[in-house]
Amino acid sequence: MNKTFLASNTYLEKKWYLIDADGQPLGRVASEIAKILMGKHKVDFHPASDIGDYVIVINAKNVTLSGNKEFDKTYFAHSGRPGGSRIETVQSLRARIPERIIEKAVKGMLPKTSLGRTVFRRLKVFKDTNHLHTAQKPQLFTI
């Protein structure tokens, strides 16, 4: 008799991957990160199960954008108060918090559910080559 099997957190061990974003296009890096976080690279993938791995991204400040997006692409935020809108370009966000560019791109590619929020917590982004997760022995993931 065949039985249905869904992978769970107790069954799978989560791996750690290291991605170097130096000189890589933002969209390609973000889509690969989203695949790893969701677990789409595994054979046991199921959209409702949390089987993804951890991802460490280094050199976030050196990610590239094509065309004139560095100056034209904007990020919009609103505080909810009258006159509380804030618009920021990629150039100013890169000068202030370069990690946020990759975080926003990846978060937009994840599901907008509680599973997506849980998966997003496994993303660790650093602006340069120094990161805090050497003890986890991450595997280098080439894009």
Nearest 5°: the CA angle 84, 73, 29 is 115
Range of the domain at 61: 16-65+97-140
| Dihedral over Cα of 100, 106, 111, 115: its sign | negative
pTM above 0.95, yes or no: no
- The total number of structural domains that make up the chain: 1
Provide the CATH number for the domain around residue 34.
3.90.1180.10
User: Is 70 a member of any domain?
Assistant: no
User: Is 81 a member of any domain?
Assistant: no
Instruction: Give pLDDT, residue 1.
Output: 65
Instruction: Give pLDDT, residue 10.
Output: 66
Confidence of residue 121 (pLDDT cuts 50, 70, 90): very high
User: Is 101 a member of any domain?
Assistant: yes
Question: Residue 115: pLDDT above 70?
Answer: yes
Round to whole Å and give the CA distance between 31 and 105: 8
User: Is 111 a member of any domain?
Assistant: yes
Question: Residue 88: pLDDT above 90?
Answer: yes
